[in-house]
Amino acid sequence: MSPFRYARAADVSDAVRQAQAAGSRFLGGGTNLVDLMRETVERPTALVDVTGMPADIGESADGGLVIGAAARNTAVAEHPLIRTRYPMLSRAIVAGASAQIRNMATVGGNLLQRTRCAYFYDNGGSRCNKRQPGEGCDAIDGFNRYHAILGASPSCVAVHPSDMCVALAALDAAVNVESVHGARSLPFAELHRLPGDLPQIDTCLEPGELITALVLPPLPIARHSTYRKVRDRSSYAFALISVAAALDVQDGIITDVRLALGGVAHKPWRAHEAEALIRGKPPEPAVFLAAADAELSAAQPLPGNRFKIELARRTIAAVLSELAGEQA
């Protein structure tokens, strides 16, 4: 690990001021950043510990929820209002990592965790455009079972590894950020980006921007929601495919739906096309499968992950059928 300075930020304005120093990075629980520093993939010269920032979870004036970015993953998953109003979010969080890691990890760090592509981690042993722009991508002709089927580019086929973020994409969350230049709020869909020609850039945040809070809108449909994760072993493994979904059925017709996929792209994948095909239809497997097919029609699998298309298709249909069954 390269040497670095460490300081705790007293509050948000202290954090963003400290982060102006060249080579500095925010530090949450450290479960991703410390690991990457040990592998010399990341080499910050200063760490600004932001775990002392607000970690409260509370109702907003409009009936939604505001979650402080320093809230631990466990605290979000166990919160009574999240369990009852946004169950898919609780379920997504407890599907990820282990209890120990969830006790350490913060919301801000979970959002900005980096890909688990093994070549990205293998500094000195493999070529990776995300780690070393222009070097090439060893995953494209290598072991790509875990890689993207949607939205990838010739420069990078990595996926975003977070489970929590798949639920947040489905929930139309917003992300509050702040820097020395001021505060702003961006829709969750605009936080992460597709790799394009700049795979080294994961998000649309400006340098030095600190995530201060997550905002969940009031969303009655989210009460009927869930998260399903398919992986190589039944616990403590990253997703091959995951599905976050919410469904509202009235008199045998789907009035509204939310659907997002994990394990398929460089960002959590909101399935807008499938949603549009499902609204107004009866809650039947054929409807769900047709919608999944439409969403996945643009898929470009790699030799090692062709199976993900069928797996995603079946998982989408299974999760939506389960939600429909609960409302029958």
> Can you tell me the distance from the alpha carbon of 144 to that of 126, in angstroms, rounded to the nearest whole number?
14
**Residue of the chain from 12, 67, 71, 97 that contacts other proteins (CB under 8 A):** 97
Q: Is 57 in the site for other proteins (CB under 8 A)?
A: no
Buried b (16+ CB within 10 A) or exposed e, 202-220: bbebeebbbbbbbbbeebe
Residues 188, 243, 171, 74, CA torsion sign: negative
**Residue of the chain from 29, 109, 161, 199 that contacts ligand SF4 (CB under 6 A):** 199
Phi-psi region of 163 (alpha: psi -120 to 50; beta: other; left: phi over 0): alpha
Nearest Cα residue to 284 out of 320, 256, 310: 320
CA distances, 279 to each of 159, 290, 294 (Å) = 28, 13, 14
Q: Is 4 in the site for other proteins (CB under 8 A)?
A: yes
Q: Which is nearer to other proteins, 14 or 35 (CB)?
A: 35
User: Residue type at 202?
Assistant: D
Radius of gyration of the chain (CA): 20
Q: Which is nearer to other proteins, 106 or 129 (CB)?
A: 106
> Can you tell me the distance from the alpha carbon of 204 to that of 190, in angstroms, rounded to the nearest whole number?
7
Q: Which is nearer to ligand SF4, 144 or 226 (CB)?
A: 144
From residue 229 to residue 268, what is the string marking binding to other proteins with x (rule CB under 8 A)? Answer: ------xx--------------------------------
Q: Is 245 in the site for ligand SF4 (CB under 6 A)?
A: no
139 binds, among other proteins, ligand SF4, ligand FAD, none (CB under 5 to 8 A by kind): ligand SF4
CA distances, 176 to each of 21, 54, 171, 179 (Å) = 22, 12, 15, 11
Q: Cβ 80 to other proteins, closest distance in Å?
A: 8
In the range 272-291, which residues lie near other proteins by CB under 8 A? none
Q: Is 99 in the site for other proteins (CB under 8 A)?
A: yes
- Residues at the site binding ligand FAD, with contacts judged by CB under 6 A: 25-33, 35, 50, 69, 96-97, 101, 104-106, 108-110, 112-113, 161-164, 210-211, 238
In DSSP notation, 53-78 reads S---EEE-TTS-EEEETT-BHHHHHH
**Which spans of this chain sit near ligand SF4 (rule: CB under 6 A)?**
115, 117, 119-120, 128-130, 137-139, 156-158, 199
**Which spans of this chain sit near other proteins (rule: CB under 8 A)?**
1, 3-6, 8, 27, 29-31, 34-35, 38, 47, 49, 51, 74, 77-78, 83-84, 87, 90-91, 94-95, 97-101, 103-104, 235-236
